[in-house]
Copies of this chain bind each other. A is one copy, B any other.
Amino acid sequence: LGVETTASQIRLYELVFDDGRSSSPYVWRIRYALARKGLPFESVPLGFTQIPAVFKGRFKTVPVIEHGDRMMAESWDIAEYLDRAFPDRPPIFSGPAENAMVRLFDAWFVRDLFKKTFSVYALDIYNAARPDDRPYFRESRERWLKGTTLEAFTASRESRLPGVRDALAPLRSHLERNAFLGGNTPNYADFIALGAFHWVACMQTLPMLAKNDDVLRGWLDRSFAFYPEVTRGFNASTLFES
Contact = CB atoms under 8 A, between A and B. Distances in A.
Interface stretch (A25-33, A153-161, A170-178, A195-203): A170-178
Contacts of A94: 94-95, 97-98
Interface stretch (A79-87, A182-190, A224-232): A182-190
Copies in the complex: 2
B102 A173 contact: no
Nearest to A185: B97
Contacts of A187: 97, 100-101
Contacts of A183: 96-97, 99-100
Nearest first, the 3 closest Cβ-Cβ pairs linking A and B are A101-B101, A100-B183, A108-B170
Interface of A: 94-105, 107-108, 111-112, 169-171, 173-174, 177-178, 180-184, 187, 189
Given A94-B98, A95-B98, A111-B169, 13 more contacts: A96-B183, A97-B98, A97-B183, A97-B187, A100-B181, A100-B183, A101-B101, A103-B178, A104-B170, A107-B170, A107-B171, A108-B170, A112-B170
